[in-house]
A and B are shown apart, each in its own frame.
Chain A
Amino acid sequence: MLKNIAIYAIGLTAALQVVHGQSTQVTFDSGSFQIFNSNTSASIPLTGGSAADGNGAVFQLGYFTGAVNGSNNFTGTFVPLTGQGSANTAPIAGSTGETMNQTSIGDLTSFGAGNGTFAMTLLFNTLDSTSNNNLPPAGTIMSIRFFDGTSLGNSNFSNIVSNDAWVWNAPGTPPSVVAMTLDDANLEWYSIFLGQAGNTAFHTTLVLIPEPSTMALLMVGLVGSAVWMRRRAKVA
């Protein structure tokens, strides 16, 4: 309780710089770890892209809709607050022009991130339409989702990491704080939760399954092809 009071109280300003809303600050980094691709027998870090921010392998800060302490952290649907697929587009302070929907491995370069690593602070303000989309209820456990490609379209594998201590705090003034690092004890990896080996931690080993809409398009294409081939056969 005291912790909550303290953290809420510490929250107060960020977006107040421009907008007088209440805000939650998420400060997170990879600590002393790197994130690697799907090859668990090798150590090939996910690309951090160039020195510019926002062009490395995609990662999303987000949460599962049913993730609260007492449940498992991967219950429900994953909602991205940042990275490709996110509705938040606020600029990221300290970056080279990156916006919230562009978070990637290697960000922010100015904070020492490179291949396989990340470090940044994001501010979500209740009155800022570029950073207030899909904010979770207080108490929701946060997660970070990694992809092995620089866009969702060219990614084949992913993984998600979470921690019971990564709890979303209600926006406040000054900003409330959520501090997350891969150095934190008791990380939980989605791959291990799904039954994969322990060495899949820090690796993107989950095969990406095409979205239902993609599958539907694929089916339409296959049916269309079949019809066309049948007609062609009849003509012949």
Chain B
Amino acid sequence: MKRSLFLSAVIACGILVGNLNAQTVATNPVGFNTSTITPALSVSAPSSTVVSAPFYAPADFRGSVSSLDSTSSFSFSGTPFTASQFTTTPHLARMVSGNSVGRFFLITANTTSQITVNTFGYNLVSGAPGNTDTQITVGDSCEICPANTLGSLFGTSSVPFQTGTTSATADNVYLFNGTTWDIFFNNGTHWKQQGNLSTNLDNTVVYPDRGMFILRRGTGALSLTFLGAVPYSNERTDFPGPGSSFKSNRFPVDLTLAGATNPLNLQTLPGWQTGTTSATADNVYLWNGTTWNIFFYNGTHWKQQGNLSSNLDSTAIPIGTAMFVVRRSTASGNNSTLVQTLPYTLP
């Protein structure tokens, strides 16, 4: 996969802007990344490419939490919102300071001052941080931005993909739901899901930490360009186990498993299972264009199944890609959270 990154001329860094009903809008550095999708040999011989969108949509709001109202809701001073403005189309609440910096939550409801979020199992108001607690405190900074969706990333009635009436004839976007693949395709008008009779799934959320598997049936060249606000804080990514997750790189740079440059360091997670073979250890799967390369940590270095090299710590997880992480070990809540340090300095 070819790719490029361009951190655009910084429109503005930090906080800019104005005060609209006590609402602060920030414009962050923006950039784009282009992923080249391998053409298919034919409709029945598709190609497969792993991609991810390493950018956020520009924020609609930034403010400080004024109160914690329940296990899943919190408020801001004044009346900065219009009721339900963040649910007509999906929005994320992204914590940019405090204990949860780098976490995001899908907003499920909002009043003029309060938002309710899907906490993905966390408890926002727990007084004692624990294995399953995310503690947000009054004064933490939160940013609200439109969530990336299939429609926002790729369009709805005009998409770069081959469209079709079934997933068997169209290009497919695979999203992993923690257990199975959700298979999406565009029928020329809307996004549809194989195995789901809903007519319009344009607003299907592609979370910032999720990878996408593109099954290309079109035989022409295809480049996907992802554009948006560059992450400017640490990111938090959960790798619960036992189980599997398909996680994005998170940052618009190449990462390595544990190399000298931009290491991911999954092996530092509490309980990460090491082993002498991939069959006994926790695994990281990286797509090589046709198959998965399977990596595991042996307690000293990263190794690859079927590769006798002793040290593969510097194996790249390229920008705009994703990895399948298969955990045999048990981890949940904060114990499964990898804090990824911002790997670059912004102007």
Contact = CB atoms under 8 A, between A and B. Distances in A.
Contact of A12 (B183, B242, B326, B328): B326
A137 interface: no
A198 B324 CA distance: 46
Contacts of B244: 12-14, 16-17, 173-174
B187 to A, nearest CB: 10
B93 to A, nearest CB: 25
Interface stretch (A20-28, A72-80, A141-149, A223-231): A20-28
Interface in B56-112: none
Interface in A137-172: 165
Interface of B: 40-41, 44-48, 165-168, 174, 176, 178-183, 194-198, 213, 215, 242-244, 246, 285, 287, 290-292, 324, 326, 328
A174 B324 contact: yes
A121 B197 CA distance: 12
A18 to B, nearest CB: 7
Given A12-B285, A20-B242, 5 more contacts: A6-B46, A6-B290, A9-B292, A13-B176, A117-B197
Given A181-B166, A183-B165, A93 B285 contact: no
Given A120-B195, A179-B194, A2 B46 contact: yes
- With a 10 A CB-CB cut-off, give which of B194, B213, B324 has the most chain A CB atoms: B194
Q: Which 8 A-B pairs have the closest CB atoms?
A: A112-B197, A13-B244, A27-B195, A6-B48, A17-B243, A111-B196, A14-B179, A183-B166
Given A3-B45, A25-B181, A175-B180, A119 B195 contact: yes
A119 B167 CA distance: 14
A112 B196 contact: yes
Given A12-B244, A120-B195, A165 B181 contact: no
Binding site of B, secondary structure by majority: helix, strand, loop or mixed? strand
Contacts of B285: 12, 173-174
A165 B168 contact: yes
Interface of A: 1-3, 5-6, 9-10, 12-18, 20, 25, 27-31, 93, 111-113, 117, 119-121, 123, 165, 173-175, 177, 179, 181, 183-184
A198 B183 CA distance: 31
B290 A30 contact: no
A27 B197 contact: no
Contacts of A177: 174, 181, 183
A121 B198 contact: no
Contacts of A123: 179-180
A10 B213 contact: yes
A177 B194 CA distance: 11
A177 B195 CA distance: 12
A183 B193 CA distance: 13
Given A6-B47, A112-B197, A27 B183 contact: yes
Contacts of B195: 27-29, 111, 119-121, 179
A13 B179 contact: yes
Nearest to A93: B179
Contact of A113 (B174, B182, B197): B197
B181 A29 contact: no
Contacts of B243: 13, 16-18
Contacts of B180: 13-14, 25, 27, 93, 121, 123, 175
A29 B194 contact: yes
Contacts of B324: 12-13, 174
B97 to A, nearest CB: 33
A16 B181 CA distance: 13
Contacts of A181: 166-168, 194
A12 B168 contact: no
B168 A2 contact: no
23 contacts: A2-B46, A2-B47, A3-B46, A6-B47, A6-B48, A10-B48, A10-B174, A12-B326, A16-B244, A17-B178, A18-B243, A27-B181, A27-B195, A29-B194, A29-B195, A121-B180, A123-B179, A165-B168, A173-B285, A174-B246, A174-B292, A179-B183, A181-B167
A123 B291 CA distance: 21
Contacts of A117: 197
Contacts of B326: 12-13, 16, 20, 173
A117 B183 CA distance: 19
Contacts of A17: 178-179, 242-244
A184 B168 CA distance: 7
A93 B179 CA distance: 9
A16 B242 CA distance: 7
Contacts of B287: 9
A9 B246 CA distance: 13
A165 B48 CA distance: 19
A149 B166 CA distance: 29
Given A1-B45, A181-B167, A27 B198 contact: no
Nearest to A117: B197
Given A17-B243, A29-B197, A30-B197, A184 B166 contact: yes
